[in-house]
Amino acid sequence: MLDLATIRQDFPILQRKVNGKPLVYFDNAATSQTPKQVIETIVDYYSRYNANIHRGVHHLSQQATDAYEQARGKIQKHFNANKASEIIFTSGTTHSINLVANGFGALLEEGDEILVSAVEHHSNIVPWQMLCERTGAMLKVIPMTANGALDYEAYDGLCTEKTKLVFCNHISNALGTVNQIETLIEGAHKVGAAILIDGAQAAPHMQIDLRALDVDFYTVSAHKMCGPTGVGILYGKEAWLKKLPPYQGGGEMIAEVTFEKTTYADLPHKFEAGTPNICGGIAFGAAIDYLNALGMKEIADYEQELLVYATRALEGIADLKIYGTTAQKAAVVSFNVGDIHPYDIGSILDKLGVAVRTGHHCAQPIMNYFEIPGTVRASFAFYNTKEEIDVFVDALKRAIQMLS
Ligand SMILES: *Cc1c(COP(=O)(O)O)cnc(C)c1O
């Protein structure tokens, strides 16, 4: 059982008011809030041992290097990767995906196919379109069904010897659907394709075991799991990371440089050109410590409780339609009420102190599928409470009254 009173004390931002009302923060799928343990790690870094890493012989540089590499080790352990060198620090999921897409530019040929799921974030569609333009490969879409799941039978038919890469998110940010990635991974490997899973929404809410999943690439953003913005990881199996060419050129990523030829550093440094977000990486490690101290299982169980509670309350509201109704869902509720524009609902909720997301959630293809301009999305985290859901539902009822 989580101790909510103590947990909420860990998050300074949860004590503030917005528009004169206590903040109810239900936009966790966009970014999570930061506990003081992580904030203190950041302050400590800049107060005591801020220095560049991997090059200095001096004390501070060694201290910063040790802390940064320790964080990499924590991340490796948390996600159960084989080696720390399979964890590449990036600026986040978008960067991680672009790194892989860029690398596959050297491995694909005209006529090859890339499969992308219909439930993607824009950051997951555009890099593959750019890759196809560059290589002459073709992009094919794994279709979705009315409840927000993927059509796995159709996927089976789409996987052929032409398939070189499959891409899908683990959990859809717009609908909350937990995709059956084990099925996707098995299907891709059966035809010899690589598969990249975007874990931006999954990593904050469940225990991920990369070794058990046998996935080729997996991406995470720290800011969605209590860490700072501007840092994340790309996990890649060593064999794949060795096959991919470097993404950016610069310091840190080289072994030897002459004007005739440059040789690249070993993993993970081959993909980490330039001075990284040192403090961010260390703070990401602190965020992982924080989550593990609470327990990922406890977090997941409690968030499911919040999801059930909110879904039940919302289902009692006339003309309210929830999008994404699969049995396996993260704590995200995406909905519309009658033909009220989601933006109008969001604006009134904000006046009442409730932060939700409105719009297409960077997933226009999903909105097109449902023929709607967008939704109101409430997304919960382990520091939210049922009392906050009550406040939200009351505020929503007031908004509906004012708008209809
Ligand atoms: C947030 C999100 C992204 C983008 O992550 P960034 O941290 O902005 O790079 C990609 N995919 C999903 C599913 C997301 O939720």
Angle between helices 278-294 and 36-44 (to 10 degrees): 150
Distance from the Cα of residue 399 to its chain's centroid: 31
Q: Which of 32, 89, 91, 94 to mutate to test the pocket of ligand 1 (most atoms within 8 A of CB)?
A: 94
Identify residue 227 by its one-letter amino acid code: G
CATH classification of the domain holding 337? 3.90.1150.10
Same domain, 172 and 195: yes
Q: Within a domain: residue 323?
A: yes
Q: Within a domain: residue 34?
A: no
Structure tokens at 337: 């009420």
Domain boundary among 267, 293, 319: 293
Domain boundary among 264, 293, 322: 293
Same domain, 324 and 184: no
Q: Within a domain: residue 72?
A: yes
Q: Within a domain: residue 47?
A: yes
Question: For position 21, what pLDDT does the model report?
Answer: 97
CATH classification of the domain holding 189? 3.40.640.10
CA of 95 to the centre of ligand 1 (A): 10
Same domain, 60 and 77: yes
Q: Which of 27, 198, 231, 234 to mutate to test the pocket of ligand 1 (most atoms within 8 A of CB)?
A: 198
Same domain, 236 and 382: no
Same domain, 265 and 347: no
Same domain, 239 and 342: no
368/65 Cα distance (integer angstroms): 47
Q: pLDDT 10s per residue in the chain (404 long)? A: 899 999 999 999 999 999 999 999 999 999 999 999 999 999 999 999 999 998 778 999 999 999 999 999 999 999 999 999 999 999 999 999 999 999 999 999 999 999 999 988 877 889 999 999 999 999 999 999 999 999 999 999 999 999 999 999 999 999 999 999 999 999 999 999 999 999 999 999 999 999 999 999 999 999 999 999 999 999 999 999 999 999 888 888 888 888 888 888 899 999 998 999 999 999 999 999 999 999 999 999 999 999 999 999 999 999 999 999 999 999 999 999 999 999 999 999 999 999 999 988 778 888 989 999 999 999 999 999 999 999 999 999 999 999 99
Provide the domain count of the chain.
2
CA of 93 to the centre of ligand 1 (A): 6
Distance from the Cα of residue 161 to its chain's centroid: 30
Q: Is the CB of 201 under 6 A from ligand 1?
A: yes
66/139 Cα distance (integer angstroms): 42
Q: Within a domain: residue 78?
A: yes
Same domain, 335 and 375: yes
CA of 391 to the centre of ligand 1 (A): 28
Q: Within a domain: residue 261?
A: yes
Q: Within a domain: residue 404?
A: no
CA of 123 to the centre of ligand 1 (A): 7
Predicted TM-score (pTM) of the model is 0.97
Domain boundary among 293, 322, 345: 293
Same domain, 107 and 228: yes
Residue 170 CA: which ligand 1 atom is closest? 13
Same domain, 52 and 184: yes
Q: Is 362 considered catalytic here? A: yes
Same domain, 134 and 200: yes
Q: Is the CB of 228 under 6 A from ligand 1?
A: no
Domain that holds residue 390: 4-26+295-399
Q: Within a domain: residue 368?
A: yes
Same domain, 232 and 282: yes
Alpha helices in 201-277 (DSSP H): 210-213, 238-243
